[in-house]
Amino acid sequence: MATQRVLDPVIDVTDQDFSQKVIEQSRTVPVVVDFWAPWCGPCRMIGPVLERLARSANGAWILAKLNVDHNPYTASRYGIQGIPAVKGFRDGRVVAEFVGAVPEPQIRRFLDQLVPSQADTLAAEAQRLEQAGKLAQAEAAYRQALHSDPNHPAALLGLGRVLFQTDRYDEALATWQRVPMGRPERAEAEGWIAKASFRREAVLNGGEIEARRRLAANPNDLDARLALAAAMSDKGSYREALEGLLEVVRRDRGQHRDRARRAMLSIFSLLGDDHPLTREYRPQLAMLLF
């Protein structure tokens, strides 16, 4: 029985084949490029470490070695001024890099930025299932990703979306609150938090019809105005919601005013600073408050 030949994950590349072996290859598997030269002492220190890590990665990434003396075009194209220079390519572009003979732990952190983790892979599959409408399977995959990495931002964000779509608003809110601050996913999570809060309040108060009925019976019912604003926000009728909330701010100086203020700020966060409604209503709120 013939044995299958395993391809070496360490390759040499040149100016002529760089596009094919690095740029195109990185669209299917990450490629780490080691820009080096035979006379470079630090290159001889870091090269074997990169090669060992590549061969132990089981095909998770490829190491491409480029001799800058023999391939000046590519070295110039990527602005190589000092070696060793190491660049990580994914989807045809550089996504991580470092210069110099850095310690192995730093190299491993560099590789963590480049190579998708198990949680990354599971979260990506979960998002595909979510987009296909397979919510139960998506939820299971998101939870599996979070079992691997409890703080994975994309998995937390996605699980919250699935919970929201299946009417589990409290659990969705708690999940989005766990998205780490400072990550790009946090801004999207804040928008979803606002949406879920409005949805939950609208449901708890009987929805738009009940709020309008209460308000028609008593125009001074500020709780009804807040409930109607939540229902309108849930529907995406943000102008009517903002008008109603602004009226509550005008009429009250206590708890209802503070609830209306916080609801307006949530809508501004949801819409973004540059949205016309934000630019129109934020100054009006400020005038009433200050």
The catalytically annotated residue of 22, 33, 43, 86 is 43
The catalytically annotated residue of 13, 22, 33, 40 is 40
43 among known catalytic residues = yes
Measured in degrees and rounded to the nearest 5, phi and psi for residue 151 equal: -110, 20
Q: How far apart are CA 119 and CA 68, in angstroms?
A: 36
H-helix segments, 78-167: 104-114, 118-131, 135-148, 153-165
40 among known catalytic residues = yes
The one-letter amino acid code at 267 reads I
- Kindly report the number of other CB atoms within 10 A of residue 253's CB atom: 9
Measured in degrees and rounded to the nearest 5, phi and psi for residue 116 equal: -60, 135
Decide: 189 and 158 in contact? Cβ < 8 Å.
Answer: no
Measured in degrees and rounded to the nearest 5, phi and psi for residue 21 equal: -80, -20
Residue 117: strand, helix, or coil: coil
Strands 62-67 and 93-99: unpaired
Q: Report the candidate in 74, 64, 45, 44 with the shortest Cα–Cα distance to residue 114.
A: 64
Q: What residues have CB less than 8 Å from 81, skipping those under 6 apart?
A: none
**Facing residues of 96 across strands?**
88
Mind telling me the catalytic residues?
Answer: 40, 43
